Amino acid sequence: MLEETFYQGSSFLHRADPRAKVICVFFLAFAIAYLHKISAAMAGLLVGLLFLYGAKLPPSKIIKRLIVVNAFIGFLWLFLPFSAPGKVIFSIWKLNATVEGIEMATLITLKCNAILLMIISFAASTPVPVLGLALTSLRLPQKLILLLLISYRYLSVIFQEYNRLLQAARIRCFVAKNNMHTYRTYAYLLAMVLIRSYERGRRVYQAMLLRGFNGRFYCLQDFQLRKQDLLLALGTGLCVLILIGTDHIGAIPGVPWGA
């Protein structure tokens, strides 16, 4: 179910300290989300591409993923050019497309894809267990991290359980259609998945207690900040400054969209 094919890499991002990566992605993503100008958003997209380069991921797969995820953006393109007030450039029937609307849609598309490229590069180079440990040392609540790690551990198990039940239904000639029978079947099936997960959760906890679990996972891996991590942090800081700077050059207060 979950693609983890990219984890085995030796790129710059794969080798970087996960704590440094978390912090850098956090600040960069918010900086890009803040931008109001197309020029700045283009610079943001460049940063996203840099990340992609840093993680050395196969471009064809990334493009495929981006196309799927841009569905929401496509949905906005249907409406935004016609709903923003401004200078009309063309009209279909009674709908007037405005320059402002098209600019806004372009801006959103750029920002969205810039951040997505960063998320893909980050997620592809950081396995979730490692991320959990990094977040622990960044002082996030222990319970939240346990939730993250344990639910990650059981995702594929429960997905298999669901598939087994679905297979059993299919063997009995279940075909999904638009009727109450389908909805009832799915509801029973999912309720069964919930019950099994609940039972499994109890057994898992008992097994953990039996092995001396006291509320935290111990980390055997020692994270160390190296020169390249400082470089990453420095680069990120610089990028954030440049992005916000570009965004504010010539900006008239009050005009940026959304402000």
Partner 1 sequence: MHISEGVLAAPVLVGGAAICIGGTALGLRRMSQDEVPKVAVLTAAFFVASLVHVPLGPSSVHLILNGLIGLILGWAAFPALLIALFFQAIFFQFGGLTVLGVNTVNMAFPGVVAYYLCSGMARSDNHLLSIVGGFIAGAGAVAGAGILVAVSLYLSNRAFLTPAKAVLLAHLPIMIIEGIITVIMISFLKRVKPELLRAKEDAPC
Does position 90 interact with partner 1 (CB under 8 A)? The reply is no
Does position 230 interact with partner 1 (CB under 8 A)? The reply is no
Query: In DSSP terms, which residues pair with 95 in a beta bridge?
Result: 92
What's 84's DSSP letter?
S
What's 156's DSSP letter?
H
Residues numbered 175-194 forming contacts with partner 1, rule: CB under 8 A: 176-178, 180, 182-184, 186-188, 190-194
Nearest approach, Cβ of 16 to partner 1 (angstroms)? 16
The token pair at 35 is 């931008």
The token pair at 85 is 């007030």
Which position among 58, 59, 141, 237 is part of the footprint of partner 1 (CB under 8 A)? Answer: 141
Does position 154 interact with partner 1 (CB under 8 A)? The reply is yes
Q: Sign (positive/negative) of CA torsion 32, 33, 35, 40?
A: positive
Nearest approach, Cβ of 235 to partner 1 (angstroms)? 19
What is 39-57 written as a DSSP string?
HHHHHHHHHHHHHHHHHT-
Which position among 65, 217, 244, 248 is part of the footprint of partner 1 (CB under 8 A)? Answer: 65
Q: In whole angstroms, what separates CA 150 from the centre of its chain?
A: 19
Q: In the stretch 18-47, what mask flags binding to partner 1 with x, by CB under 8 A?
A: -------xx--xx-xxx------x------
Give burial (CB, 10 Å; 0-12/13-18/19+) of 236: buried
Does position 106 interact with partner 1 (CB under 8 A)? The reply is no
Which position among 46, 204, 244, 251 is part of the footprint of partner 1 (CB under 8 A)? Answer: 204
Report the residue number, 92 or 227, with the smaller CB distance to partner 1: 92
The token pair at 154 is 């059981």
Q: Which residue has the tokens 């094919």?
A: 5
Does position 111 interact with partner 1 (CB under 8 A)? The reply is yes
Report the residue number, 41 or 239, with the smaller CB distance to partner 1: 41
Q: Is 212 helix (H, G, I), strand (E, B) or coil?
A: coil
Which position among 38, 50, 130, 148 is part of the footprint of partner 1 (CB under 8 A)? Answer: 148
Report the residue number, 66 or 88, with the smaller CB distance to partner 1: 66
Does position 232 interact with partner 1 (CB under 8 A)? The reply is no
Give burial (CB, 10 Å; 0-12/13-18/19+) of 242: middle
